[in-house]
Structures are given as C-alpha cells and as structure tokens.
Amino acid sequence: MKEMTENTGKPTNYYVPEQSNLPIIGSVGLFILVLGAGNFIQSSTDKVKAEEGSLQAFMGSMGPYILTLGLLIIFYLMYKWWSTAARESMANMNSAQLDRSYRQGMLWFITSEVMFFAAFFGALWYARTLIVPWLGGEGNNAMTHALLWPDFNAIWPVTTTPGGTTTQAMGPWGLPAINTAILLTSSWTLTIAHHALIDRNRSTLILFTWLTALLGVIFLGLQAYEYYHAYTDLGLTLGSGIYGNTFFMLTGFHGLHVTIGTIFLIVLSIRCSKGHFTPENHFAYEAGAWYWHFVDVVWLFLFVFVYAF
C-alpha cells in the first residue's frame, strides 16, 4: 500500500472498528425524537384535532416529553460518538488512508447540506421569477389575476399577499450588513487560527479559535434581535406569505447551522487548549473550519438574494 512507504509513525492497516453500540443508540434516539416532535407539533398547532381521551390525544400530550427524551439520547450519542472518534485519533489508530476517508466524508456531507439549502433557494427564485409575476397576470395567466387576485400587485418583496396579509420588508443595510461583516471577519480569524495550528503557535491558535466562536455568538445574538425586530416592529413573521416564508426558512436554517458551527468551534477551542491537535493530525479542526466556511458562504448568498436584491 502507498502509505507503507511513508514513514510517519502512523499505522498502515486500515482501522475497521470493533463492534459498536453507537449506531443503534442513534437510530432509537432519532426514532424517539421524531415521534415526540410529530406528536408535539400536532398537539400544539390547530391542524389536527384529536378526540379527547383517545390514544392520539394521549400521544399528543406526551409529545414534549418524548421529544425531550429523544433530544437527550441524540445529544448523548453525539458526545459519545465524537469523543470515541477523538480518542481513536489521539491514540494514533487512524492511518493516513482513514484520515482521507474522514475528510472526503466531511466534504460530501457539506455537499448534501448545500443541496438542502438549494431546495429553499430554489423555492425563493421560483417564487420571485415565476409565481409572483404569474399571480400578477403575466404569461397566459391574465385570467388568474383578473378573476382570482385582482388586487394583487406583483412586486418583490411581496408585502401584500394575494390573500391580503401585509408585512414590511427587511432592509439589507442595518444589522444584516453588520452580520455580513462579522461572518467574513470570523472566516478570517479562523484562517489565522488554522495557520497557527500548522505553525505550532498554540497561544494564537487558542485565542483566534475562541475569537471565531465569539463572533458566531455575536452573529446569533444580532440575528435573534433582528427576528424580534421583524416580529414586533415590521409585522414580518414566518406566516406573512411567500416573502416571510422564504426569509425565515432560509435565515432560520442558516442560523441553525451557525449554532451548530459555533458549538463545533467551542468544542474545538477546548480541544485546542487540551493540546489535542498536531500539525499532522487535526482532521476535526479542519472539518470544523470547512463547516464554518460553508456557513459563511451560505450567508453571502442570503445577503445577496434575501436581503439586498
């Protein structure tokens, strides 16, 4: 094999792990999580009316507890799985080849995340370029407009929906612009930290990784404030028609990913302080960095297509 010729002190055999109970814990956890989520959502919104005293109503009332149990199992699993992987990595069980497997796996995972966002961006573009003009009577839809929605004004952002819900649009040049600057800066601080890792400059590494995580927290704080502003001052909610739908779904899923990325960075900061990473062996750090840059790039698309234009 190729890596037999490399003398890095790394094992040459591919590490096929022993039996593991992690996957089955994860599967049970996911099942309980979504079972709870489904029942919780149904019992707390008005779409589904369960008959009182029925099994369906009972499951609905148990929803929050089942959901919490599922979340606890999944959090436990994530802690357990990644600490196992970190231990294996530090015990030098990972050959160069396995390291490549992890890297490639992470890249393809991020690719799948890109496609998840693509679905919502696709909805945004489809709505802006086709649905709204059609509802306004373009193409062969003159009668749709005249008969169904005669009062609808086909502009983007849709501040008045065909059904009559009104809202105000969110401008780009306040908090969103500041948040753009914050995320761009965070990519820069993270790159400094990464270079420091490779140069064995530990104090810079630790400082700048923490700094990046801190910028993530600030971003999330500002985003939360922006949501508050949208709901209270602008009347812009998740339910304010297609503009509010795409606005909150895109920024919301992005915010969720920033949250995950920030937790990732905090864990990496702690692991940096413990001296877990070496210039040769720091897959987890790179994975976190890639993830963070991905979140950053998604934000740039958001800024351009959701806020600016």
Partner 1 sequence: MAHDHHPTGIKRWLFTTNHKDIGSMYLWFSFIMFLIGGAMALGIRTELFQPGLQFFDPNTFNSLTTLHGLIMVFGAVMPAFVGLANWLIPMQIGAPDMALPRMNNFSFWILPFAFTLLLLSLVPQLFPDGAPNFGWTFYAPLSTKYGPASTDFFIFGVHLMGISSIMGAINVIVTVFNMRAPGMTLMKMPMFVWTWVITAFLLIMVMPVLAGAVTMMLTDRHFGTSFFDAAGGGDPVMFQHIFWFFGHPEVYIMILPAFGIASHIIPTFSRKPLFGYASMVYATASIAFLSFLVWAHHMFTVGMPVAGELYFMIATMIIAVPTGVKIFNWVATMWKGSITFETPMLFALAFVILFTLGGVSGVMLAMTPVDKQYHDTYFVVAHFHYVLFPGAIFGTIAAVYYWLPKWTGNMFNETLSKIHFWLSIISVNITFFPMHFSGLAGMQRRVPDYNMMFEGFNQLSSIGAFMLGFSQLLFMYIVINCIRGGQGKATDNVWDGAEGLEFTHLPSPAPYHSFEKAPEVK
Q: Which of 7, 112, 203, 232 binds partner 1 (CB under 8 A)?
A: 112
Which listed range, 94-102, 193-201, 224-232, 262-270, lies at the site for partner 1 (CB under 8 A)?
94-102
| Angstrom distance (rounded) from CA 204 to CA 244 | 42
Q: How far is the CB of 277 from partner 1 (least distance, A)?
A: 21
| Angstrom distance (rounded) from CA 93 to CA 11 | 7
| Angstrom distance (rounded) from CA 188 to CA 239 | 36
Task: Determine the length of the chain.
Answer: 309
Question: By the 8 A CB rule, do 26 and 77 touch?
Answer: yes
Q: Which of 41, 62, 86, 234 binds partner 1 (CB under 8 A)?
A: 41
Chain-centre distance for alpha carbon 198: 28
Q: Which of 8, 92, 111, 129 binds partner 1 (CB under 8 A)?
A: 111
28 near partner 1, rule: CB under 8 A: yes
19 near partner 1, rule: CB under 8 A: yes
Q: Which residues in 221-280 contact partner 1 (CB under 8 A)?
A: 237-239, 241-245, 249
132 near partner 1, rule: CB under 8 A: yes
Burial of 96 (0-12, 13-18, 19+ CB in 10 A): middle
Q: Which of 22, 74, 90, 214 binds partner 1 (CB under 8 A)?
A: 22
Chain-centre distance for alpha carbon 119: 14
Secondary structure element (H or E) that encloses residue 140, with its range: none
Phi, psi of 10 (to 5 degrees): -90, 155
Q: Which residues in 274-293 contact partner 1 (CB under 8 A)?
A: none
Q: How far is the CB of 79 from partner 1 (least distance, A)?
A: 15
> Which tokens is 157 given?
């952002």
| Angstrom distance (rounded) from CA 100 to CA 73 | 29
Residues 6+ apart with CB under 8 A from 257: 113, 294, 295, 298
91 near partner 1, rule: CB under 8 A: no
**Nearest CB to partner 1, comparing residues 119 and 181:** 119
- Contacts with partner 1 by CB under 8 A: the residue count is 81
**Nearest CB to partner 1, comparing residues 37 and 207:** 37
Q: Which of 8, 79, 122, 184 binds partner 1 (CB under 8 A)?
A: 122
Q: How far is the CB of 206 from partner 1 (least distance, A)?
A: 30
Q: Which of 5, 7, 9, 115 binds partner 1 (CB under 8 A)?
A: 115
**Nearest CB to partner 1, comparing residues 56 and 204:** 56
Q: Which of 42, 94, 179, 269 binds partner 1 (CB under 8 A)?
A: 42
Q: Which of 285, 292, 224 is nearest to 261 (CA)?
A: 292
Residues 6+ apart with CB under 8 A from 215: 182, 183, 185, 186, 189
What mask, x for binding partner 1 by CB under 8 A, covers residues 159 to 178? --xxx-x-------------
Q: Which of 8, 24, 166, 199 binds partner 1 (CB under 8 A)?
A: 24
Residue type, position 21, single letter: N
